[in-house]
Every structure is written in C-alpha cells, then in structure tokens.
Structure 1
Amino acid sequence: MKYKLGDFVRFVDEKMEGYVTRIIDEQMIGVTGEDDFEIPVLASKVTFVHGHAKLVGDEEEAEVAQVTIPAGEFKGKGVHVAVVPDQRANSVVHLHVLNETSYQLLASVSTEQNKQYKGEYAGIVEPRSHAKVYSAKLADLQLWPKLIFQVLFHTKQNQPVLAPLNITEQFKAKDFSGTKKLVPFINQLGWMIQLDEPELVIDAQKLKESFFKPAEEKQEVAKPKAEIDLHIEKLRDDYQFLSSSEMLNIQLSNFKHALDAAIVHQMPDITFIHGTGNGILKHELHKLLSKNNKVQTFMDARKEKFGYGATKVVLK
C-alpha cells in the first residue's frame, strides 16, 4: 500500500479530493473530503496531488537536527508516546516516540492483534527530538492493536547504562480524557504518555499486613469525603508564603492520601476539585491516575456543578 493515513489524494474519475483517513485493506482506502464524509475507494482510483504541502510531523521526509547537549545538563528520563491530531485530517492521530532525554534511542515499535504481529517502525531517535511511528483514527480506538515499544539507550558520554524498555500499551479512552497540552519539539497540542516512568502500584500485601498489626501499631485510615477540594487555600492557611512548587507538592500529597484511603475503604468513586487555573494540577492528577491499577477510569465531574474544574475517579 503506497498511501498512508493523512495523505492528500484526488479521485481519478471524479472531481473530488480529500485525505486518506482509513486503510481498509491492500486495495481499498477511505478518503474524507471537506464534508467530513468518508468514501471507500480503490487505491488505484486515486492519485497524489502533486505540489500539495507535506503533512506536519511527517518525519519520513524530514532530516533530524543534530542536538548539542550542554555540559552538566545530561537528562536521563523522559521517553514518551506523544499522540497528536493531524492538522488537516482531524480524525487521524499520529503517534510519536518523543525523546526528552540526552540519550540516543534505538527504538522499535510493533503491533499485535489476534496474535498477529507487524513491525511499524525501527530507527534512531536523537536526543531531544521525536519520530512518528504509527497513525490511526481516534474514533476507532477500540479497534487499535496493542503497541509494543522496545527502546535501547545509547550515549558516548560517561553516563550509566540504562536497562532497555519493553512496554506493551493497549490504549484506552482514559488515556485521552485529559486536557491536551503543547507537545515539545512537535509544537502541536496533543497527549503524552511517559514510558520510562515506574507504574504506580498499591502493594496489596503490605496493605493486608497492616490490618493484622497490634492495635498500638495499627494506623487508622479515615474514610475520605466523596468530594475532595484541592484548592491550596483549603489545605493551608499560610499558602501566601509558599512557592508554586511547594503548593503543588502539598496538593498532590493530599490527593494521594485521599485516593489511597478511598481504595482501602472500597469506595466506588471519589471526586477531586482542582479548579481550572493553568491546568498543571489537573495534568499531574491525570498522569498519576492513568498509572494506578486500582483506577477503572476517570472523567470530568458534573460540568453543571464544577465546570471543568473537577475530576471524578471510578475505582475498581
């Protein structure tokens, strides 16, 4: 198949043109025009529009810029999957391996569906750069295959040898429920999922053991309220004297404590009121929630009551 998602094509036999928004099989593609209606068509019945601008983010046509890493600023963490909508065919999203580290990444991306495997990308992702590795329709999220990311870290500098990453992701709707933010190096709004971040896991055994401690050792875990207000003025009286980072740490600490307590008491759900503001607190909450294996899903709480300033968490 010579066409890719997002390619701009023109019909051979009709005065129509649009973007490729679906690869149906080796002979058929779906093309969406200005009316947002997708038309199935034989690939042989369309042609590229010569001179049409290349799609933003098409790394196959771009040269990777060489990055000079300043001494003393070597960064060892920051491997993400960045998901950004196509700027012209909005129904299509492109997945990038985003490298915020100072390591050179040797990356391989494969898909697995019904025990059928397919290599999608293999290459080098330079420090502080990105590479497009996969494209799909966001509306077909439930049909996406599992994506297998394998990453080796390489550098000529005197730095520790990191263990390779081997991560399988089955993307779900909750991965895209948070607010989009500006993705570094791509300079488009999108979602970011960090691959080199340890999964937040509740140690069930330690939690269980705590219930069998002697009474003098056992710590009572109070059941939290159904709605937790994380506005800093609700948490500290001296908030005027705190820096932004100190405020954020206090808010995140209260969030983690309330979430753990809700899990212990087997609450069905809990709502965190974070406000709108600059969106940093909401982003940090959603990042932690997406890594917690006790969270079933999360979403904006009742908009008629909270607007977009609260997140409802449904627990397993």
Structure 2
Amino acid sequence: MNIGDKVRMLRAKEQGVITRFLSGNQVEIEIEDGFRIPVMQSELVVVSPMEAERFKPSGQAAEVREAFAPQRPLGQPGQVLASVGFYLAYVPQNDRDVALYLVNNTDWEVLFTLAEEREGSYRGLQSGTMKAKTQVKMAEIYAMAKFEQWPTLLAQALYFRPGGGQPARMPLVKRLKPRAQAFYKNKQIVPVLGQPGHVFQLDDETTNASMAPPTSDGLKTAMLTPNEDVAIVSVERPNSVVDLHIEKLLPTGNSGRKPDEIVEVQLRAFEKNLENAIASGMGEITFIHGVGTGKLRQELHRQLSRHPNVRFFEDAQKQKFGYGATKVTLK
C-alpha cells in the first residue's frame, strides 16, 4: 500500500486515493467528493489497476489519483515519474534507541552520501546507490536520552535514470537536526519500510523539480552552498517541578482571560515542558496543577495516558502537594 494507490473501504461504499500515511497504522485517503479522511489500513483494500482504469473517479479525486498514481514502466506513453519521496527516518529499536534509515520512495536511482556534522567537524556515515522504492539502514544508533546531543545530518544525493527522455535533475543537499516537538509530531509509518518511525522528507516540490541540464558551476554551487532551512534543535531542560498555576505562568496578570483560555495557556506550558523533559533525557518530572475544578488535572492525565514516552504517572507527594500535583515517570 503506497501513496497514490486507489483503495476501497471494506465496511463502506467509499473509494479514494491514499494521500499520506498517519500514525497508528492509519492512512489519509481522498474520496471522490474531495474530502480527506483517516482510515485504518486494515479497513482498506487496494483496487487493481485494471479496475481503477475502468472505473475512473471524477472531479478533484481524479486529479489526486493522477498526481499520485503508481508509476508506469519507462517507455510507456504518458509516463509519470514519482520525483518526490526521499526521506530520513529515525526508527525505534526499543524504548531507548533509534536506528537511522534513508528511504528512496521515488522512481529514480539515487547516489547518496550521509554524514554527521558536530561543531564544524565532519564524519562520513555511509555512501552508495539506492534503487527506486528501496531503503538503507545505517549502522548508527542514537540514544533517546541524549537527544539534545544528536548531530546535524548532512545528506547529499544525485539522481539517475537510464535511457533518454528524462530532464536532468539538480543534486540534493540537505542538513537536518530535528527539533524536539517536530520529532515527536512526525511519527508515522515509514514509506517503503512499513514500520513506525519519525520521518523527515529531505526533498520537496521545489528542491526536486526537474530542471534544465546543470552547468559545472551550478553543480559546484549546489553541492557547496549550505541549505538555509536547517532545523536547529533548541531544548531547554525544565525544572523537575513545574508549577502550572496561571499566576506563575503569567506573572504580569492574565489580562481578563476566560477560564477556557487560562486552561489553554496551562496546557501549552505542560506540553512544552513535558516534551523538553523527554528530549533532554529526564527520568521524571512533576506538574503542579492544583485542585480547582479538576478540569486541568483530568486533561493532563488524559494526555499522559496516551503518550508513548510516559512510563506511568501518579499523584505526587500528597503530604507536600495534596492532590494538586502529578508525578510523571518517563521512558
């Protein structure tokens, strides 16, 4: 099951086209009226190419199907190439470590190099050639507890496809160092590999569009010029006890905020401190939420119960905080 496949729901009449993979073994599909909906992969079946051709969808879904359609072999009339889909993925090996993968979900062969950059020093990790629709596992293992110490990764790629009729493509040069918040939000099924991981797309429509044949100066510039959209990680290690009372978060006053708006401010502070605690390798953190109506405590516990990096949580030191604090133990 890949992006662009036409699928049918097993328990409903709707059909659609897969537009992206979501977490929890779900995919997003665009149905014929143009709406995009999440569906479990187990509830879908891929429509055969012959059936898809005979029963073409109409409207916007037809346009999406054409844009994401599974690619035809070289040489057929109306050939469409998947030119976008080069990924870097951090794939969990256990609850402490992740492995590094490069994924080529395009129709091009890719000659690649991958290296680490630490404070100006360069360390090559691997180089090689990736066939279309393949993945390569690097030898590197990174510890989640040392997230803030992970290096910047430098990926470079040259694109190749045998035969004539293909526009030349500019090389790809990309640096990546994920932010803590983006890292956890980017968890999904890794294309080609089919396992859950934290996925970052190294190419996009702009950097990977087919271009005129490059000059030697253009190649040199593309390979040596740093990419400006480097994602720099900046993780502030929070205190072991975080007070979520609004007067602590907004010492200058809450400016007449409504109760729901106050809770929203408290939740944003909770989420930020929790993610920073995870990224900085803390073993536990305590949140003081007070008793009040219990709405904030209930929402904190709801989020903690579903968080993949929380081992368990409990009321913290009743003799000190009463029932107004929650202690969280992290994985």
TM range (shorter): 0.3 to 0.5
Give the TM-score normalised by the residue count of structure 1. 0.41
